[in-house]
Structure 1
């Protein structure tokens, strides 16, 4: 059998997940989580981290059942429940990923302007647009080259994050700026509602692991190795998340954080850290957000291709360069949406809009796993503690959806209604016979 030269190693696959997760969370949304829930943001990071591990394990098994699927949650919903739910989940998930490109790229722009000393939102947006344009070209070059570039960036940013944690803690102690009151909560941040609000921001920060599930067939060792890569990327990210948030609050009282896209720069400036450390961490943030944006463009383009390949979107979106292993039109469309969504609001609003589709897609994926298990479809990688872990994940996902901001829920419901109307409008032109399911026997 001919060797597949496009295949990537377990480490490179893990790096793709880490690149998407860490850049989206630690460097961009950690400060927003602290601003919303104060010291209780640590609870949000751990709670969502546990949920992310459960979902990651489920995705590892689903990916091993369907190793050639490139649409992640869409593919699982489509195969388990048919085209109607598959279409809704697929479009919602795709829109979430495309919107995530905006949030992460805006983080890049914010750190760039901070390093240059130009405090202007317009400059942040300009740098974000430039990043999206360049990375869309990198993705068009091909998945293997993009994934290898991502693994290189991950090694650098993990080193810089370690430096930040150690230096921040040392600075907090040596400068006597650390106090127990830094971890205090107020009436507004010490509530369950505040923890839920922070969890929404944090959930977005963990979402990148799906990027691995869209490339299961490209990982050496197949679906079992891809499943390990998914779980590894989430666990490593959770450890770094908690340590970085603790280091940030050691330097800055929780009450001082605001919703911004460059929280690490803010923390270092507040603590009067050495300029060299500020520059190194700023460069690390640029690398991290570049890595995460790269992964999100790759993931969203593959999801759009898969939806089209299942004949649920126009034929023009099925353009796929097999030699480079890239969905060219998907990359272009995702990048355009990413640029447009930069103008939809601040970093928290963009993240909240993105989260609705992610939460729903994860919920449906959990039910898809139950469906496949009931029909005796098993993969090489199996979810530990099934069905208890899956039930716990479903309950947590339901609670997070219920606790989302009203604006995000309104937009999500409107999107679902719009997709239902679009689906049945198109189906009516082709189907003459009504399909009737018998739910109860």
Structure 2
């Protein structure tokens, strides 16, 4: 029987396989496919589609490591928990802190992006006002329970998937072979750089593991959800990329901050531009919703170990959600949205999230052989991919990430001095 304290901080296991896949897809299908494909096209030409597949494979290795760990340790916090249990408190805290930094900074950028896209559809207020309203509404949706947030997420994901499939089927007849020539004008180096850029378009699968404490039969559901999510994302992204290249060519894609809208403008299919813009809007909403879900659960896990103030481990008596973490997450995202994107933090976050997944794979390697569902090759390949991409980043980005991590350890020391007495 659970003691009263454990009961007060326990979450409800209500997420099914469908819900978990929805959370994963909502976290993945966002700015990556709608924005980063243009940047990747500029550094690799048509061969960025190979970079996309390489990035998807590395994400799959990392995802399988996450799934293997979550099946044995189905608790909120994901890699934060695995690092603590299998490596050391320093590794665990590093993973949790880097997750918070990267996801909070990304959430502010995504909120701004949603306002810009939705304003094109419904110019009823300024893009900033639309962004702020979206943050408030999604924070509120999270507050009233994980099941309601999961249902809202499924609706959002459905709109996004339909819009992308509509683009693929509309554009397929207009694909021209000559747009794929020359295929790799920048060689292997360009493909490798595009893979590093596109890797971040896949990283949302970890949100499933972060919510493991609220998933029904996590030892079965999480591995299945991760595999379904990543395979779906790879197939969908490859189809969208192939159609985009074939319709407008990579030079036009590289010259745009919204390449899929340029593709839509080149097609005569009824309503295609509006549908793609709507899909971009719902994609941003889905990512933002999943960010609030994941960040608040990470705050819950870190509060349990005094890596953040223990007040964050409290769970709402009626809705069984970490309501204080949700509330603070919403406030921080509102502040970042008002201030605009912090270029320094956003760039550093690219390094910190790669270290986060490196720790995931290290923890999977430390698991007993009896717990290693996929063997040792998967985490070895995942770790090698993460480290290769992290060292390929510019030195100032790496130093910024290290600086943010050291600042986190300073804050952790302060919290432990206060709360460990």
TM range (shorter): 0.7 to 0.9
**TM-score, normalization by structure 2:** 0.88
- CA-CA distance at 1:81 after TM superposition: 2.4
- CA-CA distance at 1:294 after TM superposition: 0.7
Q: What's the CA shift string for 1:199-253, capped at 9, x where partnerless?
A: 3331221111111112223323332112111111011011000110111111212
Aligned pairs (5 A) from 1:171-186: 172-173=174-175, 178-184=176-182
Task: Tell me the residue number matched to 1:19.
Answer: 26
Task: Tell me the residue number matched to 1:277.
Answer: 272
- CA-CA distance at 1:273 after TM superposition: 3.8
Change (3 A) 1:261 1:104: farther
- Confirm or deny: 8 A CA contact 2:13 2:216 kept in the other structure: no
Which of 254-263 and 282-291 deviates more?
254-263
Q: Distance in 2 between matches of 1:79 and 1:307?
A: 13
Q: Distance in 1 between matches of 2:286 and 2:261?
A: 18
Task: Tell me the residue number matched to 2:107.
Answer: 101
Q: Does 1:76 align with 2:76?
A: no
- CA-CA distance at 1:363 after TM superposition: 0.6
- CA-CA distance at 1:320 after TM superposition: 2.0
Task: Tell me the residue number matched to 2:5.
Answer: none
Q: Distance in 2 between matches of 1:55 and 1:314?
A: 30
Change (3 A) 1:322 1:14: farther
- CA-CA distance at 1:399 after TM superposition: 0.4
For the residue of structure 2 that corresponds to 1:168, the secondary structure is helix
Change (3 A) 1:322 1:408: farther
Partner of residue 215 from structure 2, selected from 216, 219, 224? 219
- CA-CA distance at 1:265 after TM superposition: 1.4
Q: Does 1:246 align with 2:235?
A: no
Change (3 A) 1:217 1:414: closer
Change (3 A) 1:126 1:302: same
Q: Distance in 1 between matches of 2:235 and 2:251?
A: 23
Would you say how many aligned residue pairs link Structure 1 and Structure 2? 411
Superposition CA RMSD, Å: 2.9
Q: Distance in 1 between matches of 2:367 and 2:347?
A: 31
Q: Distance in 2 between matches of 1:75 and 1:26?
A: 30
Q: What's the CA shift string for 1:282-321, capped at 9, x where partnerless?
A: 1122222212211111011111111111221112322322
Q: Does 1:46 align with 2:53?
A: yes
Task: Tell me the residue number matched to 2:43.
Answer: 36
Q: Does 1:195 align with 2:195?
A: no
- CA-CA distance at 1:409 after TM superposition: 1.5
- Confirm or deny: 8 A CA contact 2:15 2:147 kept in the other structure: yes
- Confirm or deny: 8 A CA contact 2:110 2:284 kept in the other structure: yes
**TM-score, normalization by structure 1:** 0.84
Change (3 A) 1:145 1:250: same
Task: Tell me the residue number matched to 2:388.
Answer: 399
Q: Distance in 2 between matches of 1:429 and 1:279?
A: 53
- CA-CA distance at 1:18 after TM superposition: 0.9
Q: Distance in 1 between matches of 2:112 and 2:182?
A: 30
Change (3 A) 1:263 1:371: same
Q: Does 1:163 align with 2:166?
A: yes
Partner of residue 147 from structure 1, selected from 145, 150, 153? 150
For the residue of structure 2 that corresponds to 1:257, the secondary structure is helix
Task: Tell me the residue number matched to 2:73.
Answer: 66
- Confirm or deny: 8 A CA contact 1:200 1:355 kept in the other structure: no
Task: Tell me the residue number matched to 2:407.
Answer: 418
Q: Does 1:358 align with 2:353?
A: yes
Structure whose residues are more often helix by fraction = 2
Change (3 A) 1:116 1:144: closer
- Confirm or deny: 8 A CA contact 1:102 1:350 kept in the other structure: no
Q: Distance in 1 between matches of 2:130 and 2:256?
A: 16
- CA-CA distance at 1:278 after TM superposition: 0.7
- Confirm or deny: 8 A CA contact 1:209 1:233 kept in the other structure: yes
Q: Does 1:388 align with 2:388?
A: no
- Confirm or deny: 8 A CA contact 1:183 1:249 kept in the other structure: no
- Confirm or deny: 8 A CA contact 2:77 2:297 kept in the other structure: yes
Q: Distance in 2 between matches of 1:117 and 1:324?
A: 35
For the residue of structure 2 that corresponds to 1:161, the secondary structure is helix
Q: Distance in 2 between matches of 1:340 and 1:226?
A: 33
